[in-house]
Amino acid sequence: MRRIAEWLAAGWLTLVLSLLPGWAGAQSMTHCRTTPELLDLGNPLAIARQSIAEQKKLRIMALGSSTTAGYGVSNPAYAYPAQLRIGLEKALPGIEIDVLNRGIGGQDVEEMAARMREEMQGNLPSLVVWQTGTNAAIRHMPLEKFERWLRGGLKLGKSLGADFVLMNLQYVPAVVAVADKEAYEKIMAAAAKEFDAGLFRRYDIMRGWYEDGMPYAQFVQLDGLHLNDFGQKCIGQLLTRAILKSLNGP
Amino acid sequence: MAVSPSVAAGRDIRLDLFRGLALWFIFVDHIPSNVASWLTVRNYGFSDATEIFVFISGYTAVIAYARMMQRDGWIRTTARIHRRVWQLYVAHILLFVAFTAQIVWVSEARDMPALIDEMELMGLGENPYQAILQAALLKFRPVNLDVLPLYIVLLAFFPFALPAIVRWPFAVIAVSLLLYAATCRYNWNLAGYPDHKVWYFNPMAWQVVFYVGACCAVLGAQIARLDRFRAPLCVLAALYLLFAAFIALSWQFNALGRLVPNWIGRIIYPIDKTNIDILRFLHFLAIAWLVRVSVPADSPWLNRRVLDPLRRCGEHSLLIFCIGTFLALTGQVIVDQYEGAFLSQVLVSIAGIAIMCAAAYLAAWFKGGGTRRPPLATQVAS
């Protein structure tokens, strides 16, 4: 018995050690990337532009669930709202950048739409990044209900006088397993169009990573749901690029 | 106060060995994307070293304090346990200060204001006084400082469960499972800082690992009865571990991921860590069962000299845990400096474990009164 166990242990160790260099090489090749089309928000962000031009400041509110709150990252600075602030400060010198993090783990469109007025009044942002859809999809919220709350929230938020960017689902094992995840995505795309909001296509961006051969472990925590340090930083950097592209566009 | 005679004897060296191993794993796994993680349990299944650490902590708490309760009474024992809780608390606060100081020192020494910037975002820079208060209340636990607060809360409530554990262990397991189920169902958690943050390791869920571990220490005879089903249980456990390994490896290798059908994904995800998903707990129990069967407490090789460093680390778990957490941050900074180079990860992991072992030997030497050769006694209380 012991002999066998020792041989097994030795064999496993040899296997791991021989595989490691190749694996490490593959890891270092994976870097944060996407195609330019996927960074097109499809919205000029007029209110944000005006705020930058007239007041030299840009206040952004990140409204969302655990991704926004930065669940499980080894440093809150890696969460995408913090990355957005760091990136915009670098890209827009002389402009006062303020990113308010309004992420509460476990929430979805219903709770977020309900607290939207309270969050936005008082310190009205020029741009709201609304990260939603993932919790709704993994909990199988009825599509019709999802659509109703999403549109209600967008209508209210726009009426308070801010630009909106919807950030859709994350491409992770827990979401990929859901049968009608793309239906949630479509509802978000349609609502963005109808209410003149931008759409940050996180789902397609992350699917691109996976299909390019990046393993889930590179960008997802081991619970199969939340973005890890790399995933958060990369989404934050890509969102920064997408927003800058919109602000500098025609 | 009569204590059931079935409290496990304190000389089970497997406890120190595996706790030492868990501490090594926690250190290695806390360095982000460390290749050495491939030598830990994490990449081969759902559970990781945290479960090992919490389970053994529950088990050893009963061994250490059940007899004391029999001898000295409940009040003295409670006082002793709370003295231990105080030690844990002091260690946590010290670790918090050392950890923060290390970030400041690194960012100043290497002229990297980005690091300070990051710390500001942790909640320290904006309102340091508030952050210090919240850290003292265990509500503010930046980065990897989550495990000790969990242990502190678990041990602080332990005296009130101890009399029940030695008399009605099955009832304690039932209550513990109920609390666990209710916590998951109603999403209970303790408040954290800044607002809306919660405990990454939810004590009301993780208590189930601690108390199942604690009750196992008095249920030796009942567990031995399971040996009648040894073969089928081993097969079940092994099959489950294989399944978990397949899923876990599918996160690393996309070719495997495409083989996992969606209906399985719908059932298993997300595999929550905050409320210790049942899949994680079962995974740990399967490992524990197989270890119990394949590594009997009297295996002669457990006493081999090569394993002494592991035992030493397990014996001084609090000290080694703190050093490991501190060194994991150091390691992260060093690995980052070499842009995550393969060799830097390997060397940092080896060096860190070597430092942890050296500290454990030093602690043993101090404990032995600074004599030349301290006896290797199983110190279950630590």
Q: What is the set of domains in chain A, with CATH numbers? A: 39-248 (3.40.50.1110)
How is the beta sheet containing A96-103 ordered, strand by strand? Answer: A96-103, A57-64, A127-131, A163-167, A198-200
CA A96 from centre of chain: 23
CB contact under 8 A, A222 and B277: no
Q: How many domains does chain B have?
A: 1
Residue B325 placed within a domain: yes
CB contact under 8 A, B270 and A174: yes
Preceding amide of A44 cis, omega within 30 = no
* pLDDT of res. B382: 42
* pLDDT of res. A5: 64
What ranges in B110-187 are assigned the alpha helix state H? 113-121, 128-136, 147-167, 169-186
* pLDDT of res. B3: 46
Give the residue with greater pLDDT, B193 vs A34. Answer: A34
Q: What is the pLDDT of residues B57-80, one digit of tens each?
A: 999 999 999 999 999 999 999 999
The CA distance from B154 to B206, in Å, is 9
CA A196 from centre of chain: 20
Q: Which whole number is the average pLDDT over A192-207?
A: 97
The CA distance from A197 to A190, in Å, is 10
Smallest Cβ distance to B143: which of A19, A20, A75? A75
Residue B101 placed within a domain: yes
* pLDDT of res. A40: 96
The residue ranges of DSSP E strands in A18-156, in sequence order, are 57-64, 96-103, 127-131
| B47 to chain A: closest CA residue | A222
Tokens of residue B280, six digits? 């994680």
Residue B146 placed within a domain: yes
* pLDDT of res. A28: 44
CA A5-A7-A12 angle, 5° bins: 95
3-state secondary structure of A101: strand
* pLDDT of res. B172: 97
Q: Which whole number is the average pLDDT over A233-243?
A: 97
Q: Which of A26-40, A69-83, A134-148, A187-201 is predicted least confidently?
A: A26-40
Residue B1 placed within a domain: no
Please count the other Cβ atoms lying within 10 Å of the Cβ belonging to residue B360. Answer: 25
Residue B8 placed within a domain: no
The CA distance from B285 to B249, in Å, is 20
Q: Which of A171-185, A225-239, B39-53, B367-381 is predicted least confidently?
A: B367-381
| B275 to chain A: closest CA residue | A223
Residue B5 placed within a domain: no
**Are the CB atoms for A88 and A45 separated by under 8 Å?**
no
Q: Which of A20-24, A30-34, B143-147 is predicted least confidently?
A: A20-24
Q: Residues B9, B14, B17, B22: is their CA dihedral positive or negative?
A: negative
Please count the other Cβ atoms lying within 10 Å of the Cβ belonging to residue A38. Answer: 17
- Average pLDDT taken over every residue of chain B: 90
The CA distance from B293 to B228, in Å, is 12
Q: Which whole number is the average pLDDT over A129-148?
A: 96
Q: A-chain residues within 8 Å CB-CB of B271? A: 222-224
Q: B-chain residues within 8 Å CB-CB of A226? A: 270
Q: A-chain residues within 8 Å CB-CB of B266? A: 177-179
* pLDDT of res. A1: 56
The CA distance from B159 to B156, in Å, is 7
What ranges in B226-379 are assigned the alpha helix state H? 230-250, 254-257, 262-268, 278-294, 308-315, 317-337, 342-367
Taking the model in full, what pTM does it have? 0.90
3-state secondary structure of A63: strand
CA B308-B381-B98 angle, 5° bins: 80
Does residue A107 have a pLDDT over 80? yes
* pLDDT of res. A243: 97
CB contact under 8 A, B254 and A105: no
Tokens of residue B70, six digits? 């029999």
* pLDDT of res. B228: 94
Gyration radius of chain B's alpha carbons:
21
pLDDT < 70 positions in chain B: 1-5, 10, 111-123, 125, 370-382
The CA distance from B189 to B32, in Å, is 26
Residue B381 placed within a domain: no
* pLDDT of res. A19: 58
Domain range spanning residue B327? 13-367
Give the residue with greater pLDDT, B10 vs A63. Answer: A63
**3-state helix/strand/coil string of B55-67:** HHHHHHHHHHHHH
Give the residue with greater pLDDT, A50 vs B106. Answer: A50
Residue B7 placed within a domain: no
Residues sharing a CB contact under 8 Å with residue A127, sequence separation 6 or more, in sequence order: A45, A47, A48, A58, A59, A60, A61, A162, A163, A164, A165, A243
The CA distance from B256 to B278, in Å, is 23
* pLDDT of res. B194: 77
The CA distance from A173 to A181, in Å, is 12
How many angstroms away from the CA of B233 is the closest CA of chain A?
18
Smallest Cβ distance to A223: which of B42, B187, B270? B270
- Average pLDDT taken over every residue of chain A: 90
Q: What is the pLDDT of residues B258-277, one digit of tens each?
A: 899 999 999 999 999 999 99
Does residue A4 have a pLDDT over 70? no
